[in-house]
Structure 1
Amino acid sequence: MTPSWRKPVGMGLILALILIWCFGVASLSVPLGHLHALVQAPIYCFLGIAWIAPLKPLLRWMEVGRWR
């Protein structure tokens, strides 16, 4: 069996997504830093989990070659 080109491309896209997400959340640190800690905590918890949502279609594409 020959290896699929989708796996390395998908891994690159996953790394790019994580990098972009990190820069986006870091850019929000100044405005969010002025909020109370009890307000910041759920926001950062949501942002820490929300980056996983776009991975499902990407991982599916890596495995089967279709987005749906």
Structure 2
Amino acid sequence: MVITARGDFDAVTSPDLHDAIAEVFVDPPAVLVIDLTETAFFGAAGPPTPTAVCWACSVWTGSSFSTTR
């Protein structure tokens, strides 16, 4: 599963990404990639979201997590 973030990633948009990720965890994929290649700005509010995803992936055996930039 790949989730692509586009544009600015900050305190205003971080909840949108969080919600998209939460939907994925209803039926966790074997692999989750958060693609940040199309982000123009990555603000200080951004890092907690991928960090939380990394922790959540560790809960499910066989799940792995990756980010790209």
Larger fraction in strand: 2
What's the TM-score, normalizing by structure 1? Answer: 0.33
What's the TM-score, normalizing by structure 2? Answer: 0.33
**For the pair shown, which has the larger CA radius of gyration, 1 or 2?**
1
Larger fraction in helix: 1
